[in-house]
Structure 1
Amino acid sequence: MLKRERHEQIMRQINLHNRVLTTDLVDMLQVSEDTIRRDLQELSESQKLLKVHGGALSRSYQSAYDDNAIYAREAKIVIAKKTISLIKNGMVILTGGGTTIIELVKQLPVHLKATFFTISPFVAIELAKYDGIEVILIGGIFSKNSKVTFGGHVISQLAGINADLCLIGTSAIHPEYGLTDTDWEINELKKAMFQCSKHVAILCISEKLDITLRLKVAGLENIHHLITELPAEEECLREYRSRGLNIH
């Protein structure tokens, strides 16, 4: 595989999942670890990603307020506008982090009155702009990679919440294998978020459909809504619909 092709594959993984591990890239591209390290260094020097120990991060994920740097922003705005229909006055809502959730917050009705719990400081800052929203930031260890709080202290706080709706992004979703990811700690956090919520909505750009990663978060039976930028009747969403998800 040519270097240009490797770089394209690496950036696709970065754009889809916000972060990549060197070991995963070695397996996927079938090259040496030294080759991947050099590729990541070159992409970092050209300002296309942020190289970190063990892998790399998306620059847009690190710069949540730079609208121009957000990958697939138009699709995420469509998802955000669709999600608004699930949010009602008086609700207790739990959110994850990431650029799709931030786009959602920017689309909320000005006069919404609700309580939001979030594990993301970036999301909390955006929510604080609304007078009628009570914002509760769940504190714990701060993940420099995912930009959310995690750990046992966060999970214990989540156990005391009874949320009407959980809004969360994903790295991958598959009709058979459900929701998957690559980070063990973040996976355990998402499981706890599911457990304390009456309904769960997954906000997902269509490029992340039909993908599986190495760690399972939850089966589709634990998810109530799937929201993408696609029309709900799209053929690629048929299997998700047949498994009981409300498609938006």
Structure 2
Amino acid sequence: MLKEERHDFILNEVKVRNRVLLTDLAVKLNISEDTVRRDLKYLDEQGKIKKVHGGAISTSYHLYTYKEQEIYAHENKSVIAQKAHALLREGQVILISGGTTNLEFARLFPKNIKATIFTPSLPVAMQLLEHPNVQTIFIGGRLSHEAQIALGGETIQTISQVRADLCFLGTGQLDPVHGLTEFDWEVVQLKKAMILASKKIVSLTISEKINSIQVYKVCDARAIHTLITELNPGDPFLDPFKQLGLEIL
């Protein structure tokens, strides 16, 4: 594979996943980790990604202010956010994890709905501050430099005291057989805590993340009550999740 082709592949993976591992890229590209490391360094120097320890993250994943042009598949994520609004009711207590789809959901949160929203995501919390009818509670803890979310025991302890009506869970990899998976062990523990603290789990994801798996399991696909993608709910691509009993929006 030519260098330019490798770079295109890496850029697409970073855009879709938001965060990628050097080791995974080496396997998928069938090249050495040293070659991937050099590619990531080059792409970082070009300002196309942000190189971090063990891999890379999307530039859109490292935002303090919202920039539509830097959000991958922004139009699809807006469609997902609008669909998710159908689940909202006055006075709900809501948990929202991180990720750019949840960031779009927070940005477009309906102005006329009052809600209390807990989130460990700093970018999501900042977007919610633009909505005066939302009581925003940032769940503190040790902040991840890459994902800008709070992690660790203090964060999980706070979440355990919440009883949320809905949890909008950011999705890294989702598969009907292997469920929701991640490659960051601390993120797995955070999401497990959010699931335990919520009555209903909603997965917001672009369809490109479906049928992919990682090393650590968050939950079975059946643990998700509602799956929202940009696709039409009747799309055959989503049939395996329908067969598991998930509501599809």
TM value normalised by structure 2: 0.97
Counterparts of 2:67 and 2:107, CA distance in 1:
13
Residues 148-205 of structure 1, C-alpha deviations (whole Å, 9 max, x = no match): 0010111111111000000011111111111011100001100110001000000000
TM value normalised by structure 1: 0.97
| 2:113 equivalent to 1:116 | no
Partner residue in 2 for 1:210: 211
Does 231-240 or 205-214 show the bigger shift?
A: 205-214
Counterparts of 1:125 and 1:45, CA distance in 2:
28
Counterparts of 2:18 and 2:180, CA distance in 1:
16
| 2:100 equivalent to 1:99 | yes
Counterparts of 2:153 and 2:227, CA distance in 1:
28
| 2:131 equivalent to 1:130 | yes
**Identity rate of aligned residues, in percent?**
45
Deviation at 1:207, TM superposition (A): 0.5
Q: CA RMSD in A?
A: 1.0
- Deviation beyond 4 Å, 4+ runs, structure 1: none
Q: Secondary structure at the match of 2:34?
A: helix
| Gapped regions of structure 2 (runs ≥ 5) | none
Matched to 2:236, the amino acid is E
List aligned pairs for 1:13-92, cutoff 5 A. Answer: 13-63=13-63, 65-92=66-93
Residues 3-24 of structure 1, C-alpha deviations (whole Å, 9 max, x = no match): 1221122112101111112122
| Gapped regions of structure 1 (runs ≥ 5) | none
Partner residue in 2 for 1:162: 163
Deviation at 1:45, TM superposition (A): 1.8
Contact 1:16 1:171 in 2 (8 A): no
Matched to 2:90, the amino acid is N
Deviation at 1:53, TM superposition (A): 2.1
Does 100-109 or 182-191 show the bigger shift?
A: 100-109
Contact 1:101 1:169 in 2 (8 A): yes
Q: Secondary structure at the match of 1:198?
A: coil
Q: How many pairs were matched up?
A: 248
